[in-house]
Amino acid sequence: MAKRKKHLFSGVVGPVIFKILRGEQLVTARPKTGTIKQSEGSIKAQSTFGISSKLSGKIRQSFVSLLKNREDSCVSGRVTGALNIILQQVRNKATNRFSFESNAFDSLTDLDFNSEAPMNKYLLVNPVVNFDRQQLTVELLLSNPTASIRFPDNAKACRLTVAVCCFALADGLRFMHPLRKDLMIEKEESKLDVEKFNFTVPAGCLCIVTTSLVFLSGTVASGRALSGLKLNPSGISAAVITAGTFSKTEEFPWIEMDGLRLA
């Protein structure tokens, strides 16, 4: 049984071993003992881990335009480990099928893509995410820049991005590109208002909301993005199964997940 510490895991789950080494997530195969055959349960566990690994890749691939050069080296194991725990819990042992409640993926909330730059170190207010049917609202209770965002010493502005990607798990589909909205913030701005980011999302999908910050060396008009992992926070703010039954429409651009179906 694996134990969870924040978004890191330690222990054995099916055919894999989760370890924590110097604050990083490691995932290794569980060594086989002699010639003992795997039980049906361990084979299913192995299958679940494989699905978790594939879904982890699809999630990170979906946000690649935001995460390029902004992920730490252990993010794959960290996301896969979190998904494996979730999918083990929602998979019916008798039928081998998945059944998702709206909050099935809650434990992904606050997971950092870059552990070297935790989002809560730089964004000092928590995004409030609300769903009303197919309307998604992300609200940030900003007051003034320095009270809401911790700017590095050499940063004069930043771009705050809220992005949303949806996954029709049973149909093996995901958004081709995330929906995103940007807010440019100058460090010297005297006051900010409550910011609301509104999105329309499809029914019956896993909807993942991410928040990221890119700090600029100059003003919004002239500044360049500062480089370095420790200056690029990005993480998951919410992960919810939207209400209703999924129906593919032309309103959203979909792409197949290479045969990955969770039904």
What does the pLDDT look like over 61-92, one tens digit per residue? 999 988 877 788 899 999 999 999 999 999 99
Residue ranges per domain, the chain?
3-30+38-256
Per-residue pLDDT reduced to its tens digit, 110-132: 999 999 899 999 999 999 999 99
Band the pLDDT of 222: cuts 50, 70, 90. confident
To the question of pTM greater than 0.85 for the whole model, the response is no
How confident is the model at residue 172, as a pLDDT? 96
Least confident among 23-27, 222-226, 257-261: 23-27
Label residue 188 by pLDDT band (50, 70, 90): confident
In the chain, the amino acid numbered 41 is G
